[in-house]
A = this chain, B = another copy of it.
Amino acid sequence: MPYINIRITREGVTAEQKQALIEGATELLSRVLNKNPATTFVIIDEVDTDNWGIAGENVTTLRKRAAEKKSAS
């Protein structure tokens, strides 16, 4: 009866992609640990890019800088 929580930034992930994550994570627990899919939960949290920080910066800023770099090159 595993519980899998996937946290990602909210950046246009489609329902199909979420379904692929749910299927993949469920299959992973079944394959590696023989866990019963019927009682495997997968919960996806989409987090606003302002609310996710890495290396001391929020992802909004990181994405903007990456886009600027790209358009400058």
Residues of A with Cβ closer than 8 Å to B? 1-9, 13, 15, 17-29, 31-33, 35, 37-47, 50-61
By the criterion CB–CB under 8 Å, are B56 and A23 in contact?
yes
* Residue in B closest to A53 when the chains form the complex, CB atoms: B22
Q: Closest CB-CB distance, A60 to chain B, in whole Å?
A: 7
Question: How many Å lie between the Cα of A58 and that of B41 in the bound state?
Answer: 10
* Residue in B closest to A19 when the chains form the complex, CB atoms: B58
Q: Can you list 17 A-B pairs, Cβ within 8 angstroms, ordered by A?
A: A1-B54, A4-B25, A5-B7, A8-B33, A18-B50, A18-B51, A20-B32, A22-B53, A25-B28, A37-B56, A39-B39, A39-B54, A39-B55, A42-B52, A44-B47, A45-B47, A45-B51
